[in-house]
Copies of this chain bind each other. A is one copy, B any other.
């Protein structure tokens, strides 16, 4: 598993899409302005997302992007995997090159953790993130609520 700023951009853009998609297709120009990501970088990201079927492009004037499937069918892991190439850097894949048992054990432990993280993110869908965010972010909100008003109009 790998969670970089690239993956973050992708998740952010997908969230934007999920929030606005009901009003019609969302243009990359909109997302670019909303999220402060350059248009061409978004094009790169969306090329990956499109190839994985996570978004659907509509060409021509009035066009833009929709989610490729329902928000409750898209996991965070789906999105991150689409843009972040999977890097398997353990030198001993399976049984080869395992000069000592320790190395394999360490790698096995890492794989176990990696899998846990993946499964965790696979268990969170865009839909859940949107629906539960208010609840989940409550204590974070409360800290700021004294000096700031409601953020989301």
Q: What residues of chain A have their CB less than 8 Å away from a CB belonging to chain B?
A: 1-5, 8, 11-12, 15-16, 19-20, 34-36, 76, 87, 89, 91, 94-95, 98, 100-113, 115-117, 120-121, 124, 129-130, 132-133, 136-137, 140, 144, 147-149, 151-153
Contacts and interface: CB of A to CB of B under 8 A. Distances in A.
Given A3-B2, A113-B124, A19 B106 contact: yes
Can you tell how many copies of this chain the complex includes?
A: 2
A35 B103 contact: yes
28 contacts: A2-B4, A3-B3, A3-B4, A4-B4, A8-B89, A11-B110, A12-B106, A16-B106, A19-B102, A19-B105, A34-B102, A34-B103, A35-B106, A36-B91, A100-B153, A101-B152, A104-B151, A104-B152, A104-B153, A105-B152, A108-B133, A108-B151, A109-B129, A109-B133, A112-B132, A115-B137, A116-B124, A117-B121
